[in-house]
């Protein structure tokens, strides 16, 4: 029996372990190369940098496992950031304002899910559209400029430390733990993988595909809202253009962490590790005084490299069975 359980578990660990090993190697290398790297303040900084993209990547991962994608997460986060800022500086109590913007972001997610499922449209196109709408709306209502004037409590929370680590990082940990548990142990999580593996097989097995598609995009929208609130705390103002990078970085994090855009493959832990790897690279290039433009190049190579590795692994399996 024990043997039976090991098969898939170890396979999943493999993809994740690989990312983990890359991460450890990076950290060891940077610790040696720069005396500033393995320093509590730098690590905290790195983690709070990672926190927002990490939270978005958790939601992103759910959509990717269903063989979908959510290009709108970063823009929705930016819109959340702007709306939250405006609401608070116009006198709305902070808790109410946060609830309201989370509903707004979740609404974007629901809209994505409804359009994708009911009109049978490609997720890429639908979320490309909502990405543009959210980004445009953020610019429109902010007048295209940064909005300051938030109470100091936001900044305090954003830079706050709890049990030695940044508050924002703890929020990410909560999202990762819940995300992983739901994906791995809930009925919904199983259905997410089933839909990603084959929509038709899932449907003919009695899975309510509509609920799954609505579900993953709703989760993604909600987490984009959470990311937007975190962004507000970190920036201490409303920045309408803040989300642009997050759209693609959240996908990159999931991909580096072993998620397949063809669906049915990926874990929340993997996406979490993928996000740390990316933040480490950004952080490391700064510390090593490397021209910051190299960051993008290294991350790009890393994405292609990890996915290529995955494909090579699959091809070996394929030729093996073919014989």
Complex with other proteins: residue 67 or 84, whichever CB lies closer: 67
User: Considering the complex, what minimum distance in angstroms separates the CB of residue 117 from other proteins?
Assistant: 14
Complex with other proteins: residue 187 or 289, whichever CB lies closer: 187
| Residues 234, 226 contacting (CB under 8 angstroms) | no
Complex with other proteins: residue 243 or 263, whichever CB lies closer: 263
User: Considering the complex, what minimum distance in angstroms separates the CB of residue 265 from other proteins?
Assistant: 7
Q: Residues of 271-287 as b/e, b for ≥16 C-beta within 10 angstroms?
A: bbbbbbbbbbbbbbbeb
For 159, other C-beta atoms within 10 Å of its C-beta total 16
Question: Between the CA of residue 317 and those of 103, 173, 309, what are the distances in Å?
Answer: 45, 35, 13
Specify the pairing of strand 161-162 against strand 165-166.
antiparallel
User: Considering the complex, what minimum distance in angstroms separates the CB of residue 183 from other proteins?
Assistant: 11
User: Considering the complex, what minimum distance in angstroms separates the CB of residue 313 from other proteins?
Assistant: 12
Question: Between the CA of residue 93 and those of 96, 235, 289, what are the distances in Å?
Answer: 6, 19, 43
| Residues 47, 234 contacting (CB under 8 angstroms) | no
Complex with other proteins: residue 132 or 208, whichever CB lies closer: 208
Round to whole Å and give the CA distance between 231 and 211.
30
User: Considering the complex, what minimum distance in angstroms separates the CB of residue 227 from other proteins?
Assistant: 25
Which helix (H) or strand (E) is 135 found in, with range?
A: helix 123-142
User: Considering the complex, what minimum distance in angstroms separates the CB of residue 68 from other proteins?
Assistant: 16
Contacts (Cβ under 8 Å, ≥6 apart) of 20: 273
User: Considering the complex, what minimum distance in angstroms separates the CB of residue 299 from other proteins?
Assistant: 27
| Residues 10, 132 contacting (CB under 8 angstroms) | no
Per DSSP, the residues of 201-245 read HHHHTT--HHHHHHHHHHHHHHHHHHHHHHHHHHHSSB-TTTTHH
Complex with other proteins: residue 152 or 204, whichever CB lies closer: 204
Complex with other proteins: residue 85 or 267, whichever CB lies closer: 267
Q: Indicate the SS3 state at residue 161.
A: strand
Complex with other proteins: residue 291 or 322, whichever CB lies closer: 322
Q: Which two tokens stand for residue 23?
A: 């991460």
Round to whole Å and give the CA distance between 323 and 194.
28
User: Considering the complex, what minimum distance in angstroms separates the CB of residue 18 from other proteins?
Assistant: 18
Complex with other proteins: residue 47 or 193, whichever CB lies closer: 193
Interaction site with other proteins (CB under 8 A): 1, 3-9, 11, 185-188, 190-191, 193-194, 197-198, 200-208, 263-265, 317, 321
User: Considering the complex, what minimum distance in angstroms separates the CB of residue 212 from other proteins?
Assistant: 11
Complex with other proteins: residue 44 or 203, whichever CB lies closer: 203
């Amino acid at each position: 029996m024990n043997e039976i359980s090991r098969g898939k578990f170890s396979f999943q660990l493999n993809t994740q372990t690989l990312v983990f090993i890359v991460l450890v190697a990076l950290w060891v290398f940077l610790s040696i190369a720069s005396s500033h790297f393995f320093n509590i303040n730098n690590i905290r900084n790195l983690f709070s940098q990672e926190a927002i993209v990490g939270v978005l990547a958790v939601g992103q991962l759910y959509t990717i496992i269903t063989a979908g994608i959510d290009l709108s997460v970063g823009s929705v986060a930016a819109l959340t950031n702007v709306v939250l800022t405006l609401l608070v500086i116009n006198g709305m109590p902070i808790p109410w304002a946060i609830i309201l913007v989370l509903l707004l972001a979740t609404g974007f997610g629901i809209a994505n899910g409804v359009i994708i499922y009911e009109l049978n449209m490609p997720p890429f196109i639908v979320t490309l559209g909502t990405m543009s709408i959210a980004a445009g709306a953020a610019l429109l209502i902010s007048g295209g400029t940064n909005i300051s004037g938030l109470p100091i409590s936001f900044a305090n929370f954003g830079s706050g430390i709890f049990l030695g680590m940044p508050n924002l990082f703890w929020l990410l940990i909560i999202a990762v733990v819940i995300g992983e548990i739901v994906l791995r142990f809930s009925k919904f999580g199983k259905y997410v993988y089933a839909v990603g593996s084959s929509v038709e097989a899932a449907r003919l097995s009695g899975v309510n595909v509509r609920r799954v598609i609505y579900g993953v995009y709703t989760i993604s929208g909600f987490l984009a809202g959470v990311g937007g609130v975190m962004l507000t705390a970190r920036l201490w103002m409303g920045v309408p253009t803040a989300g642009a990078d997050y759209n693609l970085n959240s996908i990159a994090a999931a991909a580096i962490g072993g998620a397949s855009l063809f669906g049915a493959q990926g874990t929340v832990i993997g996406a979490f590790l993928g996000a740390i790897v990316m933040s480490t690279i950004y952080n490391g290039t700064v510390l090593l005084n490397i021209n910051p433009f190299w960051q993008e190049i290294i991350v790009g190579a890393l994405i292609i490299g990890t996915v290529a590795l995955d494909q090579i692994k699959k091809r070996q399996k394929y030729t093996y069975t073919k014989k």
